[in-house]
């Protein structure tokens, strides 16, 4: 069954296979949302008199039954059906008769797919938000637990100044705050209704688009029917940019973990069951999970560019090119959720070396502390810098850390501001509803 079939010649099989592509695979991911969109549409058709109240009611009841089938996991797309839309219309018509053939009234597959994608992405962004928030909470928890454990900080991969495990983990927690700001902005754009725009030029039926917006709990409409169609592709691209931002945070954290668990660093470790071994070297505890998170998240950061190349030279209106956005974006959403879950699993079992700075190789880590101590004695900073530099060159430098370090400004190792970072996160996610 094809929604566009006129009952004449059949499409060449090779053309059909090429144009359908992987649609059935991704249509199954959108099945529940397609039914939800159809329920809202036929409810509106019944209220406006475009369908009779009786036919509308029967269609809603039939669609609700199909939704139950989808939720149970027993739903599938018949080989004779072109896509999810024709499958649902076919099932509904079989269940309730000719009233099922009316659910496409005032609608095109273009706006049907557009609303399916909006609903799917709205749900997906909420799931990503929840997984990212769980990782954020863990990072804050670990940051507080290890805020007094000092480790070296680096610039240019050279020993720089004292840092702490708490400061390091808190940095990635705050990075997720910015990622959530971007995700929230994307969610706001995703949460607009394109249904009723038809093929991009509206309908001669007196549709009530505000009503379907209300029924589907969108925050507003894409008013202009042409732009409602143009939002397809743009919505996916903006979503990919938000996902890429989170992926960048995970990739960088993964790289740090690979370095810091290396024997030459030895700042952190993980239980043997969370690492992998070597086929010939019995001592190995490889960071395969972090390496794969790094690789997957680096690849995810290419998706905005891939969507740009797909969409960049398209004029207004619908084009079949849009079909490919699903196979580019949808798998990446699942992969990002997997990476967030695996990062949470790994960091839940984080082991920390509290004696890192006892190693003499980190002696110069306190050179700035020594300069600042001289400044506190009244020596101008530039003179103090030269004086400490000469001691380092002559091999006479030392610094007494027994009295501890006193870094007190906001965001320093003595004042992590984790409570403020938590407030910022709560503000960032407040509009997800």
Q: What is the mean pLDDT of residues 223-233?
A: 95
Q: What is the mean pLDDT of residues 51-57?
A: 97
Instruction: Tell me which of 82, 105, 128 is where a domain ends.
Output: 105
At residue 188's C-alpha, the angle toward residues 186 and 191, to 5°, is: 110
Annotated catalytic residue within 210, 278, 316, 349: 278
Whether residue 215 lies inside any domain: the answer is: no
pLDDT given at position 19: 67
**Residue 128 and residue 157 in one domain:** yes
Residue 4 has pLDDT above 70, yes or no: no
How far is the C-alpha of 109 from the C-alpha of 116, rounded, in Å? 10
Residue 192 has pLDDT above 80, yes or no: yes
Percent of all residues in the chain with a pLDDT value above 70, rounded to a whole number:
96
**Residue 344 and residue 314 in one domain:** yes
pLDDT digits (tens, 9 = 90+) for 260-299: 999 999 999 999 999 888 788 888 888 999 999 999 999 9
Mean pLDDT lowest among 23-27, 163-167, 210-214, 407-411: 23-27
Residue 316 is a catalytic residue: no
Q: What are the tokens at 119?
A: 């609903």
Q: How confident is the model at residue 404 (pLDDT cuts 50, 70, 90)?
A: confident
pLDDT given at position 277: 82
Annotated catalytic residue within 72, 74, 156, 398: 156
pLDDT digits (tens, 9 = 90+) for 13-37: 788 677 666 777 788 999 999 999 9
pLDDT given at position 21: 67
pLDDT given at position 15: 80
How far is the C-alpha of 339 from the C-alpha of 337, rounded, in Å? 5
How far is the C-alpha of 151 from the C-alpha of 158, rounded, in Å? 13
Domain count, the chain: 3
The pTM (predicted TM-score) of the whole model is 0.92
How far is the C-alpha of 169 from the C-alpha of 15, rounded, in Å? 53
**Residue 335 and residue 421 in one domain:** yes
Whether residue 266 lies inside any domain: the answer is: yes
Residue 9 has pLDDT above 60, yes or no: no
Whether residue 113 lies inside any domain: the answer is: no
Where is pLDDT greater, at 77 or 169?
A: 169
Q: What is the mean pLDDT of residues 356-370?
A: 92
Residue 6 has pLDDT above 70, yes or no: no
Read off the CATH number of the domain in which 161 is found. Answer: 1.20.200.10
pLDDT given at position 18: 77
Where is pLDDT greater, at 74 or 128?
A: 128
pLDDT given at position 5: 52
Measuring CA to CA, which residue among 410, 332, 336, 287 is closest to residue 179?
336
Whether residue 212 lies inside any domain: the answer is: no
**Residue 90 and residue 232 in one domain:** no
**Residue 347 and residue 369 in one domain:** no
pLDDT given at position 375: 94
Q: What is the mean pLDDT of residues 68-74?
A: 93
Whether residue 24 lies inside any domain: the answer is: yes
Averaged confidence pLDDT in the chain: 93
**Residue 182 and residue 84 in one domain:** no
**Residue 138 and residue 273 in one domain:** yes
**Residue 159 and residue 69 in one domain:** no
Whether residue 404 lies inside any domain: the answer is: no
Whether residue 204 lies inside any domain: the answer is: no
**Residue 352 and residue 376 in one domain:** no
Percent of all residues in the chain with a pLDDT value above 90, rounded to a whole number:
82
How far is the C-alpha of 202 from the C-alpha of 111, rounded, in Å? 10
Residue 300 has pLDDT above 50, yes or no: yes
**Residue 166 and residue 240 in one domain:** yes
Residue 12 has pLDDT above 80, yes or no: no
Whether residue 110 lies inside any domain: the answer is: no
Range of the domain at 79: 13-105
**Residue 232 and residue 180 in one domain:** yes
**Residue 100 and residue 134 in one domain:** no
Residue 231 is a catalytic residue: no
Read off the CATH number of the domain in which 20 is found. Answer: 1.10.275.10
Q: How confident is the model at residue 354 (pLDDT cuts 50, 70, 90)?
A: very high
């Amino acid at each position: 069954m094809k929604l566009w079939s006129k009952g004449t010649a059949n499409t060449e099989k090779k053309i059909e296979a090429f144009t359908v592509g992987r649609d059935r695979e991704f249509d199954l991911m959108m099945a529940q949302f397609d039914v939800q969109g159809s329920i809202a549409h036929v409810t509106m058709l019944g209220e406006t008199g475009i369908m009779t109240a009786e036919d509308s009611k029967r269609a809603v009841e039939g669609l609700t039954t199909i939704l139950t089938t989808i939720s149970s996991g027993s739903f599938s797309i018949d080989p004779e059906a072109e896509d999810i839309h024709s499958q649902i219309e076919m099932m509904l018509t079989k269940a309730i008769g000719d009233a099922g053939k009316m659910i496409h009234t005032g609608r095109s597959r273009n706006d049907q797919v557009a609303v399916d994608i909006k609903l799917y992405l709205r749900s997906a962004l909420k799931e990503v938000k929840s997984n990212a928030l769980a990782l954020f909470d863990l990072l804050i928890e670990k940051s507080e637990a290890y805020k007094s454990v000092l480790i070296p900080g680096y610039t240019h991969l050279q020993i720089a100044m004292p840092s702490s495990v708490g400061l390091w983990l808190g940095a990635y927690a705050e990075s997720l705050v910015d990622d959530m700001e971007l995700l929230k902005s994307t969610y706001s754009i995703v949460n607009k209704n394109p249904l009723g725009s038809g093929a991009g030029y509206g309908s001669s039926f007196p549709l009530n688009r505000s009503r379907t917006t209300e029924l589907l709990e969108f925050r507003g409409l894409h008013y202009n029917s042409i732009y409602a169609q143009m939002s397809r592709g743009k919505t996916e691209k903006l979503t990919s940019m938000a996902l890429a931002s989170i992926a960048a945070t995970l990739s960088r954290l993964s790289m740090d973990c690979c370095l810091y668990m290396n024997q030459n660093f030895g700042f952190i470790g993980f239980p043997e069951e969370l690492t992998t071994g070597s086929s010939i070297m019995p001592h190995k505890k490889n960071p395969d999970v972090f390496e794969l998170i790094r690789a997957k998240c680096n690849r995810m950061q290419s998706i905005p560019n891939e969507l740009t190349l797909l969409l960049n030279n398209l004029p207004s209106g619908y084009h079949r090119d849009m079909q490919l956005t699903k196979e580019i974006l949808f798998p990446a959403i699942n992969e990002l959720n997997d990476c967030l879950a695996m990062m949470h699993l790994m960091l839940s079992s984080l082991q920390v070396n509290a004696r890192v700075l006892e190693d003499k190789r980190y002696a110069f880590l306190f050179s700035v502390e020594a300069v600042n101590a001289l400044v506190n004695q009244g020596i101008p900073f530039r003179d103090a810098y030269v004086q400490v530099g000469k001691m380092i060159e002559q091999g006479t430098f030392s610094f007494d850390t027994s009295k501890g370090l006193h870094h007190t400004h906001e965001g320093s190792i003595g004042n992590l501001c984790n409570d403020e970072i938590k407030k910022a996160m709560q503000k960032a996610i407040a509009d997800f509803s």
